[in-house]
Amino acid sequence: MTRKTVTLSVVGLVLSIGVMAMTGSAAAPGKKGADRLLKNVQTGGLKFQQIGRMSFATDGVLLVADRGNGSIVAIDTGDTGSARPLKKRIDNVDKLIAGALGTKATGVQIVDMVVNRINGRIYLSVIRKQDGISALLTIDGAGKVAAVNLSKSRHVRVTLPGNGKAKVSNVTGVKLAGSRVLAAGQSGREFASKIYSIPLPLEHGNSAAVYSTETYHVAHGRWETRAPIQSFIPIQENGKTFIVGSFNCTPIAKFPIDGLEDGAKIKGTSVVELGSGNRPVDMFIYKKGGKSWLVTNTDRFHHRNKNRRFGPSQYWGCRIDMKYLGAKETNEQAARRVVKYLGANDTDEKASRRFAKQKGPEGMEVLDVLFGVKHIDQFANDKVVVLRDTKGQLSLESAVLP
Amino acid sequence: MTLFPVSRRTTAASLLLAAVVSFPGPTGCGSGSRPPETGHTTPTTPVGPDELESSDGHFTLAIQPETDDPTRIVIVVSSVDSAFGKENSDRLEGLIEVRAEAPLLGSIERVSDREIRFAPSFPLLAGQDYVVRFLPQLGHDLAGDTLECHYRVPAPEAAPAPTVTALYPTSAVLPANHLKFYIVFSEPMQLGEIWDYFRLDDLDNDRPVPRPFRHTELWSRDRRTLTLWFHPGRVKQGVNLNVELGAILTEGRRYRLSISGDWPSARGTPLGTAVTREFTAGPADHQQPDLAKWKITVPAARSSSALVCGLGSSHDWALLHSDVRVETAAGQPVAGAIETTDHESTWTFTPQSSWQPGRYRLAVGSVLEDLAGNSLERPFEVDITDRKSPGSTPAGTRYREFTIQP
């Protein structure tokens, strides 16, 4: 196997950064709609062992990770109708979903939430805890819950290879990136993480063309370790393709992925430090005020530690000026968000006030609108849908970013 | 299959009982003059030749469970006339509902002018009660009464509580930079938000260690083995969590890992009693495993004795099973059974057939790790500022030859 180490070249601070054009440029020629992205499409018989993270590609194709068996499923939802975004907030959405599955709110786990950018319909991957059943549900603009009928769905499944052994125990993210689909996989055995690249069109049952790279991280310019990626987005920067990814609990880092060979090793460049104990969950980019912003919401690791509280919720979100993604090779100077921990005796009200005062550095802003947000997805530039946790109550609502 | 309750005879006594006791519990099927409110109904005329049907003479509501799977049902409503002839598919919604906490998701279709069917999208839950209703007036012009049946999915037969059949590593001393545990259960466990079931206590200081675990569920495909990781961010030197909170384990201290007895299996039965494992933190381990230093005891030819490899220290239990094998010198795999003993510091291989004289080799994946995540390929952490520090080596398979003497 050829092994190649790629290091990051110096990138200027003035960058042309953008989300990967999701054109499916290498998709099947002569095909239309979802068939540009899919090959050897199966109809019916789709079952998830353990449904996971999701994202929309184009043409109503939904990419879904099957955590239980290390595979990626692309579903032709056929959901390309006119826009009907969520009209009003749905309170206790976990109870609503659980009821539709015949159980209580405590009996379901909402694994992920995404929005079909074509029409605003919301998709939820859900596990019913009692029997481990995976459900793919939708919520339309009127707040009505429905189930995607997997037994009739057009789909393809690609299993991520593991040197002949299926070692991928969890797929932590899957995204369309130009002419390929990228997936991040973690092992339940060795401490390793791989980014898998799957060329378009995605062909059912064909893993032969999938290649993988291992991701590493260097702390303080000294300690290099393997670094499992928890969530990521692909971006283009001066014509080159990168992924911006987060680990379980380290800075947000940027990885170059152009020209890699199978088995290559890529080192991430830390670009933003959100403070220890924060695990970024979702990421996307939007433009406003003449700037491009990276938005992420995080699951706070220290939330239950009374001496290290950071606001009343476990979840918060921020936006980061994309200029920070031009950082150079080491994370020594990674932009670090200002953090003032709250005292053990602070009330939620005090916490909220102090939380709102925490500013800086310039271009790294905590967003009030993302407070308590467990999941967020973009509908149209600054228009988003959020799944918000308010003291244990989950609501689904539309929001506009500042 | 059980309908709840059992008795379904149209007698004066039963009619009186139904009229007086106006709650759905003791009634299997019945009809009402208007759609009932959520969770409440007033059955009046329970009829039907068997327990899974209700009829008002015009419409008949029937529950049809699958023969071999009581969690799968189809609800059929039939009419004596062509009542559904004018109903297109879009208008059928809401005519039939199956409810536990709320109406279940499902699909409804018109089979003919006289029959419609509803199938829940997901299996019903074992041991749970459901109310099944036909609601003809709900936004429709159908003349008829609300029909209702109750259905209980049988609970699974009583079975022993799940158990933890193994917990690796088994050593009472773990390195201070220990990385992960494997917990093997007797049956699949309930998934999702499992972290409150785990706890690590510092026994010398009599306090819990705050948030030591990596919150990523990594299960084997049969959902019986969980890999429970210490948070790598607290093990890695220089990473923010390690810098700010310190390492999880301190050399010389005693700890107890606990798994709550409240954790239910996938079929809903809790473990019952907590499972604990006490250990002491030893010195941190930054040395890579070294295949060349393994002590190999070679069995005699034409015996079926085990090949025994002393590894020198405890290694990763799962990887010892998945990434160490025996091959002939030509690379043909030798079939046999793997065992680990001496706290995963001894690897043994018992062949299916007796050993033939010749040259063999151990084939070991470079991913094989010790307890601290140091692998044949690289140390868990590489100090890239230290030129003497061992760096990363190419991934692949490492070999160690041995010979079965004639």
- pLDDT tens column, B176-193: 999 999 999 999 998 877
Identify the pLDDT of residue B220: 85
Higher local confidence (pLDDT), A221 or A401: A401
Reported ipTM: 0.83
Min Cα–Cα distance to chain A from B30, Å:
22
Over 90: is that where the pLDDT of A221 sits? Answer: no
User: Cβ A133–B122 below 8 Å, yes or no?
Assistant: yes
Q: Which residue of B has its CA nearest to A168?
A: B218
pLDDT, tens digit, for every residue of A134-191? 999 999 999 999 999 999 999 999 988 764 454 677 888 999 988 889 998 877 777 7
Interface test with B, best of A5, A108, A190 (most B CBs within 10 A): A190
Min Cα–Cα distance to chain A from B267, Å:
6
pLDDT, tens digit, for every residue of B382-395? 777 777 767 677 77
Nearest to A191 among B130, B225, B232 (CB): B232
Centre a 10 Å sphere on the Cβ of residue A162 and count the other Cβ atoms it contains.
Answer: 19
Geometric angle at alpha carbon B167, from B163 and B169, rounded to 5°: 175
Which residue, A293, A311, A290, is CA-closest to A302?
A311
Contacts of range A376-379, beta carbons closer than 8 Å, 24 or more positions apart: A376/A281, A376/A282, A376/A284, A376/A295, A376/A297, A376/A317, A377/A113, A377/A114, A377/A115, A377/A282, A377/A284, A378/A115, A378/A117, A378/A284, A378/A286, A378/A295, A379/A85, A379/A115, A379/A117, A379/A120
Min Cα–Cα distance to chain A from B57, Å:
30
State the pLDDT confidence band at B15, using cuts at 50, 70 and 90. Answer: very low
Min Cα–Cα distance to chain A from B161, Å:
15
Q: Which domains does chain B have, with CATH numbers?
A: 2-152 (2.60.40), 164-282 (2.60.40.1220), 291-404 (2.60.40.1220)
User: Cβ A222–B319 below 8 Å, yes or no?
Assistant: no
Over 80: is that where the pLDDT of A387 sits? Answer: yes
Identify the pLDDT of residue B191: 83
State the pLDDT confidence band at A223, using cuts at 50, 70 and 90. Answer: low
Of all residues in chain A, the percent with pLDDT exceeding 90 is 38
Lowest mean pLDDT among A83-97, A200-214, B141-155: A200-214
Lowest mean pLDDT among A23-27, A138-142, B82-86, B290-294: A23-27
Nearest to A305 among B100, B128, B210 (CB): B210
User: How many interface pairs between A and B have CB atoms less than 8 angstroms apart?
Assistant: 189
Lowest mean pLDDT among A329-343, B297-311, B358-372: A329-343
Question: What mean pLDDT, rounded, does chain B reach?
Answer: 83
Over 90: is that where the pLDDT of A262 sits? Answer: no
Identify the pLDDT of residue B236: 63
Of all residues in chain B, the percent with pLDDT exceeding 90 is 60
Min Cα–Cα distance to chain B from A25, Å:
33
User: Cβ A188–B316 below 8 Å, yes or no?
Assistant: no
Identify the pLDDT of residue A295: 92
Helix (H) or strand (E) holding B366: none
Q: Which residues of A touch B369 (CB under 8 A)?
A: 190-191
State the pLDDT confidence band at A2, using cuts at 50, 70 and 90. Answer: very low
pLDDT, tens digit, for every residue of B291-303? 999 999 999 999 9
The answer to whether A142 and A86 have CB atoms below 8 angstroms apart is: no
Min Cα–Cα distance to chain B from A174, Å:
16
State the pLDDT confidence band at B203, using cuts at 50, 70 and 90. Answer: very high
Interface test with B, best of A5, A138, A249 (most B CBs within 10 A): A249
User: Cβ B130–A102 below 8 Å, yes or no?
Assistant: yes
Q: Which residues of A touch B72 (CB under 8 A)?
A: none
Interface test with A, best of B216, B227, B377 (most A CBs within 10 A): B216
> In the numeric block, which tokens belong to residue B102?
């709320």
Identify the pLDDT of residue B132: 95
User: Cβ A100–B102 below 8 Å, yes or no?
Assistant: yes
Q: What is the pTM of this model?
A: 0.83
Q: Which residues of B touch A249 (CB under 8 A)?
A: 231-233, 239-241
Higher local confidence (pLDDT), A240 or B236: A240
Higher local confidence (pLDDT), A219 or A34: A34
State the pLDDT confidence band at B315, using cuts at 50, 70 and 90. Answer: very high
pLDDT, tens digit, for every residue of B265-283? 987 889 999 999 999 999 9
Nearest to A225 among B221, B241, B381 (CB): B381
What is the Cα–Cα distance from A109 to A101, expressed in whole angstroms? 12
Over 90: is that where the pLDDT of B328 sits? Answer: yes
Secondary structure class of A50 (helix, strand, coil): coil
Over 90: is that where the pLDDT of B145 sits? Answer: no
Helices and strands per DSSP (H, E), number in chain B: 4, 27
Average pLDDT over residues B232-244: 63
pLDDT, tens digit, for every residue of A58-97? 999 999 999 878 899 999 999 998 888 999 999 999 999 9
Average pLDDT over residues B231-239: 66
Identify the pLDDT of residue A26: 57
Of all residues in chain B, the percent with pLDDT exceeding 70 is 82
